[in-house]
Structure 1
């Protein structure tokens, strides 16, 4: 029985989800046959119950892997900006930093002032930014850098955490 790292578990979870989807499609294929009325049933490579059994085994492994990953993400921490964060919190913080950076990029790409056409009768209307777009562009770059640094810390930690899961039948 071989264990696997949390980083490998993330990949394996994706592999298992894909395999479950493939088996669901196989269930649809083997569940019905088209044949002439009164003729003998055609021979199938696998029966519906065999496919069901395989999918149930994989779903059980998927649940176990999910539980082990959640536990590891909660119990293990990474250092970031002078504080210790649980991996689950670090993942969420990286997501939030990226979302904030995306919004700041929008502000950073804005014009400081632009004329709005189609308003008023001969009176020019100006749309003026109430902030400095360059400051927001710089803030966006810094936020992305922080998010990447945090993600790298999580990835590094994920390779050091070993889960007690038998991955031999999948890898």
Structure 2
């Protein structure tokens, strides 16, 4: 299975675990009037659900380990050199944060009049940088992040892991 499919499968397994936990609540308890007899047993017992839940959790742990290993061993090429996927993902996040900071600086005026500093005084806040330069820097850093994200996505669709997903897909 490809790494991209494994990531989707992890989300599917988490949803299945949530549904089984909800089912536990439905089959573990019953509300009856004081002298009402117990009804016949439900179609699935609490034990049946526990067995299924444990099997999914075991597969989830194995899948998580395989994804982590693939993220560590799969390397992508970037303008900053080769990076394992795990590092490239964090680098893309950091670049996007840097681009947001640059964009925030770019949107600030070069000169800004401030009010409220006492009677009759006027204060001007001056940017000690060129906002246009930071607009361009924001665009460049965002492009770098997008290139890395595209390389990560491509690697996710070519990297294979050994996991039998036939029970779930």
C-alpha displacement at 1:38, in angstroms? Answer: 3.5
Stretches of structure 2 that go unaligned for 5 or more consecutive residues are none
Tell me how large the CA RMSD over aligned residues is. Answer: 1.2
For 2:150 and 2:112, the matched residues in 1 are separated by: 40
Partner of 2:147: 149
Q: Does 1:16 align with 2:16?
A: no
Partner of 1:68: 66
Partner of 2:167: 169
Pairs within 5 Å for 1:8-157: 8-42=5-39, 43-81=41-79, 83-157=81-155
C-alpha displacement at 1:45, in angstroms? Answer: 2.8
Query: Structure 1's 141 and 82: CA in aligned 2 closer, same or farther, altered over 3 A?
Result: closer
Tell me the matched-pair count. Answer: 168
C-alpha displacement at 1:82, in angstroms? Answer: 5.5
C-alpha displacement at 1:5, in angstroms? Answer: 0.2
Stretches of structure 1 that go unaligned for 5 or more consecutive residues are none
For 1:72 and 1:99, the matched residues in 2 are separated by: 25
